[in-house]
């Protein structure tokens, strides 16, 4: 279970976490009209190392723009200062996740997205992996990933996570760790809150950005790390049976890090243990997340 830190930020003010709340009549509560991102921070002697903060803020801005919120740039322009104040108030002693959400906090406006009051909340909690580290088993869901033509897949919109919750609960109920979503065309999309990669004949393959995926920041980082070490990569449509016959499969995301998947729909993947390319990439990602001088890190 996550332990939420005692202070949160709400519209730039640092307040006790349990006072950071929204009205039951807000659009955010009524329609799931909020957008968010979660980023990881490693706790070190040097300070908190926040992973790829600018990319998370860009995705937040783009999510807002895709669903038609007014420009959120003014709302997030001071976010670094707010984060510093929040960290100072909470004084974390372990690795953290930060959840930054922009809520349509306007009261009962009907289903529209423009000219609404928007509020920014940030809270932090101890970073616990959402998947088992070496033995994740997943199940293809009967629920399809919400299509980009229904709710933009590459926007991180709170309401769209009903789709993830349905599929993940179903996977848990049948003894699995997570679901595997196919899209409306029957191709592999992603997990409930993580992207997916497979390794076949030495090539690293992941569903492309037209496969109704969230464009994960960890996914992009892994593609860049693979290029650095000379692993060939491909972003394309992926069929379910390619996963069944892959040498290695892993999930990735801010809260999944890199989690090897050892079985899908009861079929053992590769040797049923984390593969060597998966291990190499996991080590590279950990090294980047632990290096205060890395380009991808903002030090707090
Ligand atoms: N897909 C979905 C649906 C997610 O919720 C997440 C978690 N944010 C991811 C993929 C992974 O994205 P990221 O690497 O940016 O955390």
Regarding the beta carbon of 152 and ligand 1, being less than 6 Å apart is answered: no
From the CB of residue 205, how many other CB atoms can be counted at a distance below 10 Å?
23
How far from each other are the two terminal CA atoms of the chain, in whole angstroms?
A: 25
Task: Work out the average pLDDT over 166-195.
Answer: 98
What is the chain's mean pLDDT, rounded?
97
Looking at ligand 1, which residue's alpha carbon is closest to its atom 7?
Answer: 193
> Can you tell me the distance from the alpha carbon of 79 to that of 76, in angstroms, rounded to the nearest whole number?
5
Regarding the beta carbon of 254 and ligand 1, being less than 6 Å apart is answered: yes
Whole-number pLDDT of residue 109: 85
Q: Indicate the pTM of the whole model.
A: 0.97
**Per-residue confidence at 1, pLDDT binned at 50, 70, 90?**
confident
Length of the chain: 300
> Can you tell me the distance from the alpha carbon of 146 to that of 43, in angstroms, rounded to the nearest whole number?
35
Regarding the beta carbon of 214 and ligand 1, being less than 6 Å apart is answered: yes
């Amino acid at each position: 279970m996550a332990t939420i830190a005692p202070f949160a930020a709400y519209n730039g003010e640092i307040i006790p976490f349990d006072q950071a709340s929204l009205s039951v009549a807000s659009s955010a509560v009524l329609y799931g009209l909020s957008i968010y991102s979660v980023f990881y921070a490693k706790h070190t002697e040097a300070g908190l190392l926040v992973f790829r903060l600018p990319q998370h803020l860009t995705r937040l801005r783009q999510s807002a723009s895709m669903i038609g919120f007014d420009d959120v740039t003014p709302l997030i322009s001071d976010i670094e200062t707010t984060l510093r104040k929040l960290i100072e108030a909470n004084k974390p002693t372990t690795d953290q996740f930060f959840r930054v959400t922009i809520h349509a906090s306007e009261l009962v406006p009907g289903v529209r997205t423009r000219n609404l009051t928007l509020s920014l909340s940030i809270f932090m909690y101890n970073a616990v992996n959402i998947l088992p580290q070496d033995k994740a088993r997943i199940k293809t869901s009967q629920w399809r990933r919400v299509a980009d033509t229904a709710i933009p897949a590459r926007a991180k919109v709170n309401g769209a996570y009903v789709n993830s919750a349905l599929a993940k609960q179903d996977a848990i109920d049948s003894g699995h760790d997570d679901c595997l979503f196919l899209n409306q065309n029957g191709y592999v999309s992603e997990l409930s809150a993580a992207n997916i990669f497979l390794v076949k004949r030495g090539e690293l393959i992941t569903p492309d950005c037209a496969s109704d995926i969230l464009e994960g920041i960890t996914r992009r980082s892994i593609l860049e790390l693979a290029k650095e070490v000379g692993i060939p990569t491909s972003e394309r449509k992926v069929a379910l049976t390619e996963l069944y016959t892959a040498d290695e499969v892993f999930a990735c995301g801010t809260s999944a890090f890199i989690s090897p998947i050892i079985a899908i729909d009861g079929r053992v993947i590769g040797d049923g243990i984390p593969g060597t390319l998966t291990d190499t990439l996991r080590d590279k990602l950990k090294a980047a997340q632990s290096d205060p001088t890395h380009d991808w890190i903002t030090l707090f």
